[in-house]
Copies of this chain bind each other. A is one copy, B any other.
Amino acid sequence: VTINWRRLLLGRPLRTERAAHERLTILLALPIFASDALSSVAYATEAILLQFADAHLNRSQFTNSLPISVAIIALILMVVISYRQVIYAYPGGGGSYIVAKENLGELAGLTAASSLLVDYVLTVAVSIAEGTAAALAALNQISPWFQHLEEHRVLICCALVLFVMLLNLRGVRESGIAFAVPSYLFIVSIITLIVVGVYRSVFGIPPVEAVAPPSLIPTGGVSATGLLTVFLLLRAFASGCSALTGIEAVSNGVQAFKKPEARNASVTLIILGSLLAVMFIGITYLANHYGIVPGEHLATYGGVNRHEPVVSQVARATFGTSIFYYVIQAATATILLLAANTSFAGFPRLASILAEDGYLPRYFANLGDRLAYNNGIIVLALLAIVFIVIFGGETHALLPLYTVGVFIAFTLSQAGMVSRWIKLGKLFSGSAFVNALGCCTTFLVLIVVVMSKGWVRTPEATLFHIGSVPIQEGAWIAILLMGFQMWICKSIATHYRIVNAQLAEIPIGYDKPVKHTVIVLVPSRIHRGVVHALSYARSISPDAMAVHIMFDRTKEQGLRDAWEVHGNDVPLIILDSPYRSLVGPLMDYLDAADRVRNDDIITVVLPEFVPARWWHHFLHNASGWLLRLLLFYRRDIVITSIRYYLEE
């Protein structure tokens, strides 16, 4: 039965040689590796505009989002070019971890790896939760009936995580095929939206539906008195930088591409960067053109406490509430869910590389039935579910957290590349310059993100409450988790090193045959199973002994009589057990035997019968299991269970 379920869920197992076959073309790789990055189109513009709205800026000052977006796109392109060089330098995959470890040492490598592992988990939790919220809001617009689903949001999130997990367990190809259609639908529909929108704006055609608010006062009801400070600009920039998450995944998963791996990965990366740049700047431009303020149109967009997102407003202004508007809504909700899939491509590969290096349990490197890293996939899904359940599905406050992790990884990998160029004597090459520039820029952004997101305490930044104490959004949570992850990696590495040292040392003479005593534990009744166990014991040692632990003296003579017939001259030792304990007298006897015989090993042979049906187990003593459990930590004992099978 187990086998069939497994087949049904995971499909036919694949031979190890099929691995090359299962690799991805650019067409299939793009939806897997791009969905996280592209999904940020759905929220990055909004993140910038929200900073302005929160600061009560005047509407005219909202146009500052355009230069900020341009700066972010410049950053994206720089990161893409830097990572292109990482891919060619390390075609084996591993991205920031390998680059940092090889060039900057173990600590830098683990820092990069830990921040990425934490990020992947947070990405799954956040994108599934956000995608579910967006999907429910979109369904709400179709029929109010779907409001019933709101109550079960956490459950729906968990089910979706498990669904994405299952598809990934079926192998990277299958998940790529499954997610290709919605990803391309999103790309095509957003680009259509931008093309139509820009066309209309160039020819001065007015919006189909009015989305600009009647007054210039933002939602809070306070008049626009905010000042555009440098700090605010940096904060808005940091918020927009969430668009960069997901770029790292490609360099991690080079080995998932068909040959030539490095070239295919690098082409995918460049397509990804270009799409991201076009879509991000397009949406920001249109939002500015329509004068959109985030967080308005509260009532028109679905249910409770939910503002209409900027992309939805842009689509409505461009197409009206037409069928095309709904297509964009559906595609946006889907891409948010699919962003999780990028992490499912990244986490298990990074975990397998860490496992090979001994920083994570070895089984993370095992290939499953479908040549996927099953253990990594399952652990990622479970951790994400833990986050979703803890935050009750309200994970959007976690969003800024993982910007920190991404930029730590960016900075370390670029720094590693610079160090590599120095070692190769190419410090003054163009490549080194690109990486050095990338390193400096991403480090600066990291400082901006940490400064603006880490310690600023504003009421809007409240992440969750512990009792009545508000816990603010802050880089410290991500850093805490990272530190914990690093400590785990270090401990595991230490453990493996110690174990290896112990296992490697093989003393001289250790391969001589052991001397051993064989003891058959017999019950008060000599049945077929006991006779069988006795034959086995005699076959492994000519001087086997039998031991009976006696609770009830009245049965002694019966046992001795039966032994005369079936005992086959094996000596029978009867031990009294005044307290009716099986283990106590046996232990005492084993201690004594150890002292007297001075053997290497004592083999205890247990005759056990296996009932024909599972519920029959309840009708028999579990003393075999109990003995094995209690003798487990006793050294130099081998417990051999000789099973006799009942037929009915």
Contacts of A15 in B (CB 8 A): 578-579
Q: Mark A524-568, 1 if CB is under 8 A from B, else 0.
A: 010111011011101111000000000110000000000000101
Task: State the CA gap A382–B441 with chains docked (Å).
Answer: 67
Binds B, one of A387-395, A412-420, A495-503: A495-503
Within 8 Å by CB of A536, from B362, B516, B619, B632, lies B516
Interface-facing stretch out of A135-143, A330-338, A454-462, A504-512 = A504-512
> Which of A510, A513, A538, A566 is packed against the most chain B CB atoms within 10 Å?
A513
Tell me the nearest residue of chain B to A366, going by C-beta. Answer: B580
**B residues in contact with A647, CB < 8 Å:** 502
* Residues of the B chain whose Cβ atoms lie less than 8 Å from the Cβ of A611: 499
| Chain B CB within 10 A, most for which of A515, A536, A621 | A536
**A633 contact set on B, CB distance < 8 A:** 610
Is A514 in contact with chain B by the CB < 8 A criterion? yes
Q: Quick check: B362 and A646 within 8 Å, CB to CB?
A: no
State whether A536 touches B638 (Cβ < 8 A): yes
A529, closest chain B residue (CB): B503
* In the assembled complex, A151 has its CB within 8 A of some CB on chain B: no
Contact with B along A446-469 (1 / 0, CB 8 A): 000000000000000000000000
CA of A445 to CA of B610, assembled, Å:
48
Contact with B along A612-645 (1 / 0, CB 8 A): 0000101111000000000011010011111111
A195 beta carbon closer than 8 Å to chain B: no
A444 at the interface (CB under 8 A from B): no
Whether A16 is near chain B, meaning CB under 8 Å from some CB there, is yes
B534 touches A511 (CB 8 A): yes
Structural contact, A531 and B510, CB atoms closer than 8 A: yes
Chain B positions within 8 Å of A512 at CB level: 535
Our pick among B361, B579, B644, B645 for the contact of A618 (Cβ within 8 Å) is B361
Is A609 an interface position by the 8 A CB rule? yes
Interchain CA distance A13-B527 in the complex, whole Å: 31
Decide if A515 touches B539 in the complex (CB within 8 Å).
yes
Is A648 engaged at the interface, CB distance under 8 Å to the other chain? Answer: yes
Residue A367 is within 8 A (CB to CB) of chain B in the complex: yes
Are A619 and B496 in contact, CB atoms less than 8 angstroms apart? yes
| A620 interface neighbour in B361, B603, B648, Cβ under 8 Å | B361
A619 to B505, CA, bound (A): 21
Bound together, the chains give a CA A581 to CA B502 distance in angstroms of: 28
Q: Once bound together, how far apart are the Cα atoms of A613 and B609, in whole Å?
A: 32
Contact B13 A581 (CB under 8 A): yes
Contact A514:B527 (CB < 8 A) given known A361-B619, A503-B609, A645-B635: no
Q: How far is the CA of A536 from the CA of B599 in the complex (A)?
A: 12
- Contact A503 B516, beta carbon cutoff 8 Å: no
Output the residue of A362, A366, A540 with the most chain B CB within 10 A: A540
Chain B residue, CB-CB nearest to A358? B619
Contact status of A580 and B367, CB under 8 A, knowing A499-B646, A536-B638, A539-B516: yes
Cβ B531 vs Cβ A506 within 8 A: yes
Which residues of chain B have C-beta atoms less than 8 A from A516's C-beta?
A: 536, 539-540
Question: What are 14 A-B contacts defined by CB distance under 8 Å?
Answer: A362-B620, A367-B580, A368-B580, A495-B616, A502-B646, A502-B647, A510-B528, A511-B535, A511-B568, A513-B535, A514-B532, A515-B539, A635-B645, A640-B640
Known: A510-B528, A511-B566. 16 other contacts (CB 8 A): A13-B579, A17-B578, A362-B619, A362-B621, A367-B551, A499-B609, A503-B525, A503-B644, A505-B528, A506-B527, A510-B532, A511-B531, A513-B539, A514-B535, A516-B539, A638-B643
